[in-house]
Structure 1
């Protein structure tokens, strides 16, 4: 395998990355000074370009400064130059990457760190955020405040994601060891003239999955199998959950664990299903590796397919290219962005 393309951002530890849904060679990278504990943050816009000998290299196009660390980001599904970021000061900012260092939208409703953000690939004018304050909020970029608040968990919500199959479904994971699925069509979300979700957050999940005895740090929807999710947790386990037997609209506890994937030596910080193959999963861990798994192994072939161990600090992000099958990006607290083809 060729060595990975590498971009170094000195002084800023990475927290998350995302490929553009519009350009096959553009990435966005969220980072924080002092490992996100104190200080400012940066949003980096990066391009993958041909290099010497035909090998790709990474080019930093520009960066944007923020007053607090950035923990997550998502590209707009409706505008090719818009990126939304989640910040440690509880704010959410919308950036136009063609403009100078000034956010074009700012929202400040969360009362603690915003730890994840996700843009719906179906309802392309909608994104969702989750916070250490236990809430999940749904937003439209042209609205001055959130359009819906869910009291998803009683403790930190590490991630909230829209289903890529049904725009009304949102999955969450938390310090309480559960995955939850919320159905925005549920009658529990009906509001009257005297109620609103801004002051009365809603909390009825249609499914609660007891995924781990420890904190669940990350989850992802399978792109080909509706209601199949993967989770990664502090107990070092990666698990695949089948929730297809649950009738949406009922509040239930359940979900079937299809498989467990042991191997990481420390907590699993991020995972992502391949957008090209239904059984391929990438995971990033505090053990300084990114691993690739075949979740439906054929015959005697082991589920662990590849270990990327080029980082020297916690690996906190991994993302498959949306256009180029097999191309994977990883980012780490070592301030290195790697793009590789395992």
Structure 2
């Protein structure tokens, strides 16, 4: 893939919300999108394939798309079935799709009462995925079960992302509009001892990190350093957290986590942050453009590698290829999916 010429997939009339590479097929990619920026109107799930030519010119081909009655905010591929994926919708539903079929989803769940912002499939317990909602709840699912396996009332504010740890199969991390990151052990769901179980019950977190005084919109686990993650949000800052004090099954409601690095430089809120799956150092975040950073130069220091003005509106999703190092997909409100080598 040529380093300076991105492959582009246009989705006219549908602003893109997030993008995901298949864990089974090196060229397959899915995009969640919404009409009218997800405020009102329907949604579309796009499935596409990257192309290569003898000349090295990149390309991307739309394979199919699926219509939904409300906007789609996120998409995640199954870790056990190569043709299946789940989507998160503005109407509170979660849908399971099979890309070998051309019409309706093969299953739909409707337990959430408000917008579902994120879905994440565990790559350790591969038969499970989680979803998080504007009402502060997080739910655990398996495709074979007609209802959720567990519900956590994780925050009193909107939960923007909930992610399985790549190291601890029963630990998830969440980030929220209340400015905190919380860690939950799914083996020991309890109510927080300081919450009122009748009027405002909260599930007991094994660790709470006061990350910001404003909304935290995104987080990602480091794949090489257990209990290290990055977060970002409205304060236009990416923070690297060392949370090795987390001991699953330990005292509930512990507060802590050391911020070992702050990365500045953005002019707007940061909607997405992602570590490289191929190297322990680089982290990625962006908005309007994407910036590539490395955390390697020295403790507490970060070095900007390059800036790409890849889009004309907010960049809200990015995903590194799981198979090709340096290949990145970014999606935006400008209805363009860009795939290029950095």
TM-score, normalization by structure 1: 0.93
* Distance in 1 of aligned mates of 2:64 and 2:38: 21
Contact map agreement 1:149 1:202 (CA 8 A) in 2: no
* Distance in 2 of aligned mates of 1:11 and 1:210: 38
Displacement over 6 Å in runs of 4+? none
1:340 and 2:313 aligned: no
Corresponding residue number in structure 2 for 1:192: none
Corresponding residue number in structure 1 for 2:281: 279
**Structure 1 position 135, deviation (Å):** 0.2
Corresponding residue number in structure 2 for 1:71: 73
Q: Deviations over 1:20-63 (max 9, x none)?
A: 00011110000001111110000000100114722220100000
Gap regions ≥5 residues in structure 1 = 190-199
* Distance in 1 of aligned mates of 2:76 and 2:278: 20
Q: Helix, strand or coil: the match of 2:190?
A: helix
Q: How does 1:40-79 map to 2 (within 5 A)?
A: 40-51=42-53, 53-79=55-81
Structure 1 residues 13 and 121, CA gap change in structure 2 (3 angstroms): same
**Structure 1 position 302, deviation (Å):** 5.2
Corresponding residue number in structure 1 for 2:289: 289
* Distance in 2 of aligned mates of 1:51 and 1:336: 21
Query: For this pair of structures, how many residues does the alignment match?
Result: 330
Q: How does 1:77-92 map to 2 (within 5 A)?
A: 77-92=79-94
Contact map agreement 2:5 2:58 (CA 8 A) in 1: no
* Distance in 2 of aligned mates of 1:41 and 1:223: 32
Corresponding residue number in structure 2 for 1:96: 98
**Structure 1 position 298, deviation (Å):** 5.0
**Structure 1 position 329, deviation (Å):** 0.6
Q: Helix, strand or coil: the match of 1:65?
A: strand
Q: Helix, strand or coil: the match of 1:268?
A: coil
Structure 1 residues 52 and 7, CA gap change in structure 2 (3 angstroms): farther
Q: Deviations over 1:247-291 (max 9, x none)?
A: 332221000001000011100001111110111111122xx1111
Contact map agreement 1:272 1:319 (CA 8 A) in 2: yes
1:238 and 2:238 aligned: yes
Q: How does 1:122-161 map to 2 (within 5 A)?
A: 122-161=124-163
Corresponding residue number in structure 1 for 2:219: 219
* Distance in 2 of aligned mates of 1:278 and 1:100: 39
* Distance in 1 of aligned mates of 2:297 and 2:52: 35
1:250 and 2:251 aligned: yes
Contact map agreement 2:51 2:61 (CA 8 A) in 1: yes
Contact map agreement 1:149 1:201 (CA 8 A) in 2: no
Q: Helix, strand or coil: the match of 1:257?
A: strand
**Structure 1 position 202, deviation (Å):** 6.1
Corresponding residue number in structure 2 for 1:9: 11
Q: Helix, strand or coil: the match of 1:54?
A: coil
Root mean square deviation, CA, Å: 1.7
* Distance in 1 of aligned mates of 2:155 and 2:85: 27
Corresponding residue number in structure 1 for 2:312: 312
**Structure 1 position 308, deviation (Å):** 1.7
TM-score, normalization by structure 2: 0.93
Deviates more, 1:323-332 or 1:46-55: 46-55
